[in-house]
Amino acid sequence: MFPSIAGALALIAGCAALGFYYAAQEGFRINDLQEFKKALMILSSEIEHLRTPLPMAAANIAKRTKGVVRDIFGEFAQLLSDERNETAYQLWAQALEGQKKRAYLAGEDWDAIEGFGKTLGYLDKQMQQSAITVMIDYINEKTTTLQTQSDKNRRMYRSLGVIGGLLLVVLLW
């Protein structure tokens, strides 16, 4: 009797943990987007006021951000300073490729971020600023949508985890 009760409790705990993990995922995505927005704002001020070259600007951003965004800009700065015979966009895409599995960003976010890389390093100051503004607008809009959705979804995933665990226990008993 005891092993079956322990097994049932483990199953419920496992399913509940899975539910809580899925509930937290949207929050992680919002955090990643906010961190990327912070990086863009730093990049904007580096371009506008300090006129820092791109490798140095990327390195500065990597120092002032955290998580996956820090790693993206850190790798991008490294690739830029290696002076390879590739465009900034190709190096940006390479830097993103290494981090895609680690981040909680969705496919549409990656598309927007990758598209933003096309404007890096060769347009004039004004064009780069407008590309940054477009990207920040995208992040703001996405964050607002996600925040309204996430409350409902969070409750749903948590309940689904716990109830799914209980259902499995009843089915296997």
Partner 1 sequence: MDISVVFQIAAVGILVAVLNQVLKQAGREEQATMTTLAGILVVLFWVIRYVSQLFTEVQTVFNL
Report the nearest approach of partner 1 to the CB of residue 148 (Å): 12
Is residue 159 near partner 1 by the rule CB under 8 A? Answer: yes
Is residue 146 near partner 1 by the rule CB under 8 A? Answer: no
Is residue 9 near partner 1 by the rule CB under 8 A? Answer: no
Is residue 166 near partner 1 by the rule CB under 8 A? Answer: yes
Of residues 84-123, which lie at the interface with partner 1 (CB under 8 A)? Answer: none
Residue 36: its H or E element: helix 2-45
Coil/strand/helix, residue 2: helix
In single-letter form, the type of residue at position 57 comes to: A
Q: Are 12 and 142 in contact (CB under 8 A)?
A: no
What whole-number distance in Å separates Cα of residue 67 and Cα of residue 65? Answer: 7
The answer for residues whose C-beta is within 8 angstroms of residue 106's C-beta and 6 or more apart is 29
**Looking at 5-13, 75-83, 90-98, 160-168, which segment touches partner 1 (CB under 8 A)?**
160-168
Is residue 170 near partner 1 by the rule CB under 8 A? Answer: yes
What whole-number distance in Å separates Cα of residue 149 and Cα of residue 157? Answer: 12
Is residue 164 near partner 1 by the rule CB under 8 A? Answer: yes
Tell me whether residue 119 or residue 150 sits nearer to partner 1 (CB atom).
Answer: 150
Report the nearest approach of partner 1 to the CB of residue 25 (Å): 15
Is residue 13 near partner 1 by the rule CB under 8 A? Answer: no
Is residue 153 near partner 1 by the rule CB under 8 A? Answer: yes
What's the start-to-end Cα distance of the chain, in Å? 11
Q: Are 112 and 135 in contact (CB under 8 A)?
A: yes
Applying CB under 8 A, the residues found at the interface with partner 1 are 152-153, 155-156, 159-160, 163-164, 166-167, 170-171, 173
